[in-house]
Amino acid sequence: MAEIVAAAAAVHAPQLISRPQNEELEKLDRGTDALHRLGRVLDETSPDVLLVIGLDHLETFWLGAAPTFTVFVGEHAEADYAGRAHRRVPVHTDLAVDLLKGLVARDFDMTFSQEGTLGHAFLTPLVYVLGDRPIPVVPLLVNVYLPPLPSPRRCYALGRAIADVLASRPERVAVLASGGMSHFPGTARYHDPQLSFDRWVLQEVGAGRWQELLDLTPVQLDEVGEGELLTWFVMLGVTGELPASMLSYQALSHHGHGVVQLLPPLAATAPPPEPTVPRYGGHVFTQTDYRWYRFPEPSSFTLNRLLHQIIVNPGFRSEFVRNRAAVVGAAELTDPERRALLAEGFDELVAVGAHPLLALSARQVVALELQKPAPTGAAPAQAGGSR
């Protein structure tokens, strides 16, 4: 049967790749140092395959199809963020297909994909953990940003089913859950992460107390910016409920960057320490429905599709930047949507139904487009560009 020789959960924040100068670079360095340490764990444990449990920031999938759980079964995996790509990594297709078939046989209605570029949830661990090591991967994606979302216990059950499939396999397997701690990308709460909740999570996983985490609801995770922990719960199902050792935790103004290791264990077996951080970090839940990452209503589909085209279609993006008013005027949008698209910085888009990640990504790529030098003789880009 397969042996789980290594298991960890780690931040994948895009700042670890782009390293903007306005960030606290020494904290980013501590995070990448911890990721490199996980790479050395691969050297020490010699796995035959790395199962990367990641997620999608509407980079691989979007509203055209939003699968809950996806196994990537193509021959090679490619990941990209803001023009930076990692080498094409071979996929352990035999194991990936076996997982797909085995999970469907165990009543998980899996999606599979043989094509598509993975986003920074995969690029970051491929760059800093896998590096140049000749270890094939199996990418698995969990939907954490397009409600309705799977529950923590459903993710844990998926992990148990994965472990069940692996029981008939001969490989030595390393498992990496790629997911951040509290953050709210693209929303008004971007600079207000729930860092005290992070500290409670790290306290509990360090003691091997996972049950209260598994009892959280997706709406509660939305409230504290912890939706990406769903990847951790899949990993936990694969490994069983083990305590985790913290390799790094960096509190940035917008994001808690955590890296923890479950296998091989780093701490001697001992009674779990008594809690010192109060339950939920002292947070009191109040939301009764998704607030920060709401279900994308079909009535906003045209707006979101236009944003998606700005992100993925260079020609459309160039035309939007060159003549924004004409592009917006030709689209079948409501008046509030048009005003939001014409407004400085796209700051009103989320309020009129845009998905926060689409609004964020569109703002970023438009800002980059505006920085490009205009071709000789071209009209200047119109005012109202993104900040």
Cβ neighbours, 10 Å, residue 128: 22
C-beta of residue 182 within 8 angstroms of C-beta of residue 258: no
pLDDT of residue 376: 57
Q: Name the token pair of 248.
A: 């790094």
Using pLDDT thresholds of 50, 70 and 90, give the confidence band for residue 70.
very high
Task: Assign 209 to helix, strand or coil.
Answer: coil
Give per-residue pLDDT as tens, 294-328. Answer: 999 999 999 999 999 999 899 999 999 999 999 99
pLDDT of residue 125: 97
Give per-residue pLDDT as tens, 219-233. Answer: 999 999 999 999 999
pLDDT of residue 86: 85
If we measure between CA atoms, which residue out of 336, 315, 280 comes closest to residue 327? 315
If we measure between CA atoms, which residue out of 270, 196, 199, 201 comes closest to residue 230? 201
Query: Is a pLDDT exceeding 90 seen at residue 158?
Result: yes
Share of the chain above pLDDT 70, in %: 96
Distance CA 167, CA 202 (A): 29
CA within 13 Å, CB half, 305 = 11
Residues 6 or more apart whose Cβ sits within 8 Å of residue 13 = 31, 120, 124, 180, 183, 252, 255, 257
Query: Is a pLDDT exceeding 70 seen at residue 257?
Result: yes
If we measure between CA atoms, which residue out of 173, 139, 162 comes closest to residue 49? 173
If we measure between CA atoms, which residue out of 162, 62, 46 comes closest to residue 104? 162
Q: Which helix (H) or strand (E) holds 330?
A: helix 324-330
Better pLDDT: 286 or 371 = 286
pLDDT, average across residues 102-107:
98
Instruction: Select, from the ranges 74-88, 202-216, 267-281, the one with the highest average predicted confidence (pLDDT).
Output: 202-216
Amino acid letter at 207? A
Using pLDDT thresholds of 50, 70 and 90, give the confidence band for residue 346.
confident
- Please tell me what DSSP assigns to residue 65: B
Task: Assign 91 to helix, strand or coil.
Answer: strand
Give 240: exposed, middle or buried? Use CB within 10 Å, 0-12, 13-18, 19+: middle
**Residue keyed to tokens 């609801």:** 217
Residues 6 or more apart whose Cβ sits within 8 Å of residue 125 = 10, 12, 35, 52, 54, 176, 178
Q: For the chain, what is the mean pLDDT? A: 93
If we measure between CA atoms, which residue out of 141, 6, 137 comes closest to residue 65? 141
Better pLDDT: 354 or 347 = 354
pLDDT of residue 387: 28
CA within 13 Å, CB half, 35 = 30
Distance CA 9, CA 180 (A): 9
Q: What are phi and psi of 359, to 5 degrees?
A: -65, -45
pLDDT of residue 81: 86
pLDDT of residue 377: 55
- Please tell me what DSSP assigns to residue 141: E
Preceding omega of 271 cis (within 30 degrees of 0):
no
Chain length of the chain: 387
Q: Please tell me the least confidently modeled range out of 13-22, 137-146, 204-213, 324-333.
A: 13-22
Using pLDDT thresholds of 50, 70 and 90, give the confidence band for residue 292.
very high
Amino acid letter at 34? A
Amino acid letter at 247? L
Distance CA 387, CA 187 (A): 15
pLDDT of residue 372: 76
Query: Is a pLDDT exceeding 70 seen at residue 244?
Result: yes
